[in-house]
Structure 1
Amino acid sequence: MDSKRAMMLKSSNYHFITEWHIQATPEEIYRILEDVDSLAKWWPSVYLDVKVLERGQKGGVGKVVELYTKGWLPYTLRWKFRVMNTIFPKGFALEAFGDLAGKGIWTFIPERSGTKVIYDWQIEVEKPLLKKLSFLLKPLFSMNHGWAMKKGLESLELELRRRKGEANVPLPPKPTFPHSFTNNRIL
């Protein structure tokens, strides 16, 4: 069996493609997503803590970011990403390592009414207990990712409204339960 096929059969491997349609320009969306310093502020349901470890080159290539994240399931992940390439305002690619390992590609395509955003996320779970349970809980882990991305769209749309100066924009969705409760104790 070739290595690509073997990788596809591993239960701890995931491939998600998320598509959003947003009434904003690719430039506006790119600028918000590249601003990782504010990620935990506008997408707090998923990003509990974000630290830039290395700023990288002008344009962001080489930037290394440490993340503490969660979804609606009672576990948290500690992982990092490195920005591998950027093409402003069309998108950027990152490499993940830590509790998640793999690659993510954000693509922004102009449309008549805004932008089509595609996130192609190919990862392997490296967190030991989650990796071990992945064969059994893969559908739940996949639903957890879907929930996180749904909250991301909701949060991004609210952040766009805030950045455009709209008054009385609701706060973004909060985590499903306090992250101090999880703190990696359950899974």
Structure 2
Amino acid sequence: MDWTHYRFRSLWPLPFGSAAVYRALERVEEYPRWWPQVRTVGRLDDTTGVITIRSVLPYDMTFTARETRRDPAAGILEIAMSGDIEGWARWTVTADGAGTLARYDQVVDVTKPLLRRLAVPGRPFFRANHRLMMRSGRRGLRGHLQAV
């Protein structure tokens, strides 16, 4: 088992239309306004940016995100990631009854040296850290969409 390899899936049921959820998720530069763990987003060009995140554990992760797919009709936003983490992430936004289901899938390898050294003992903490970040993101997006 590669202790620095992670697969994540988060499901965000939201009581808003799928178009509104998709629009909010495609505006990555606005994430720090509603998602506290997304500390900074700096655009490099129309499809690439540098993102710094930090959840509960005392470390930042910085990576370059390059858009690889933007398909509003299919509800898909996908990026390739390089830096402290290498891999990909994808939002899939679909109608779900009167609301929307936003599914987040991520497959990454951790390259940050400290996290690689702590891979075995830290793994349960790193996974919990990710869950807390995603839970906070869902709450933040819900509040953001209620305000607009």
Give the structure-2-normalised TM-score. Answer: 0.96
Tell me which of 20, 26, 46 is aligned to 1:34.
26
Extract unaligned runs of 5+ from structure 1: 1-8, 56-62, 164-187
Give runs of ≥4 in structure 1 deviating > 6 Å. none
Confirm whether residue 104 of structure 1 aligns to residue 89 of structure 2: yes
Map 1:7-86; keep pairs closer than 5 Å. 9-43=1-35, 45-55=36-46, 63-86=47-70
Q: Equivalents in 2 of 1:37, 1:77: separation in Å? A: 17
Give the structure with higher Rg (CA).
1
SS in 2 for 1:103: strand
- The number of equivalent residue pairs is 147
Task: Show the counterpart of 1:142.
Answer: 127
User: Deviation at 1:37?
Assistant: 2.0
User: Deviation at 1:112?
Assistant: 1.1
Task: Show the counterpart of 1:183.
Answer: none
SS in 2 for 1:73: coil
Question: Could you report, residue by residue, the CA deviation over 1:134-178 in whole angstroms, capped at 9, with x for unpaired residues?
Answer: 111100000000000000000000000111xxxxxxxxxxxxxxx
Work out whether residues 15 and 98 of structure 2, in 8 Å CA contact, stay in contact via their aligned partners in 1: yes
User: Deviation at 1:86?
Assistant: 1.3
User: Deviation at 1:34?
Assistant: 1.0
Task: Show the counterpart of 1:153.
Answer: 138
Extract unaligned runs of 5+ from structure 2: none
SS in 1 for 2:118: helix
SS in 2 for 1:54: coil
- Percent identical: 27
User: Deviation at 1:113?
Assistant: 2.1
Confirm whether residue 118 of structure 1 aligns to residue 103 of structure 2: yes
Tell me which of 116, 133, 146 is aligned to 1:131.
116
Question: Could you report, residue by residue, the CA deviation over 1:71-122 in whole angstroms, capped at 9, with x for unpaired residues?
Answer: 1011111111111011104111111110011011110111112011110110
